[in-house]
């Protein structure tokens, strides 16, 4: 795959597969927005958290931005109500029409 794109949205971006995807796209120079609400911690407890991986990505790649939102919309950090629908919509719009924001 060699096509250059304006932005890449990676869901589950702090997880095993997602974080490797982030690395792939960031290293080829794409602007990457990752969506991950650390649901693993909510479901499986602190040892299962992927927050450490999120921090690594944020530190390493200036072209990576993290959104701590639920891909399903309607909820923010797993189990808590929040303003997620608007935040997530904005993320998608940034990728589709960055100049419009």
Compute the least distance from the CB of residue 77 to ligand NAD, in Å: 10
Among the listed ranges 23-31, 33-41, 58-66, 90-98, the one in contact with ligand NAD (CB under 6 A) is: 33-41
Q: What is the DSSP string of 7-68?
A: -EEEETTTSHHHHHHHHHHHHTT--EEEE---HHHHHH-GGG--HHHHHHHHHH-TTEEEE-
Say if strands 32-35 and 64-67 run parallel, antiparallel, or are unpaired.
Answer: parallel
# residues contacting ligand NAD (CB under 6 A): 16
Binding mask 37-76 for ligand NAD (x = CB under 6 A): xxxx---------x-------------------xxx----
Distance in angstroms (rounded) separating the CA atoms of residues 40 and 98: 31
Q: Is 92 in the site for ligand NAD (CB under 6 A)?
A: no
Q: Which residues bind ligand NAD (CB under 6 A)?
A: 12, 14-18, 35-40, 50, 70-72
């Amino acid at each position: 795959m060699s096509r250059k794109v304006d932005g890449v949205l990676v869901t589950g971006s702090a997880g095993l597969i997602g974080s490797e995807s982030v690395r792939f796209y960031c290293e080829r120079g794409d602007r990457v927005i990752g969506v991950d609400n650390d649901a693993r911690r909510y479901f499986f407890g602190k040892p299962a958290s992927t927050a450490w991986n999120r921090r690594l990505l944020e530190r390493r790649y200036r072209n990576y931005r993290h959104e701590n939102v639920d891909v399903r919309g309607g909820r923010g950090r797993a189990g808590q109500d929040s303003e997620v629908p608007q935040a997530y919509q904005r993320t998608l719009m940034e990728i589709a029409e960055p100049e419009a924001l």
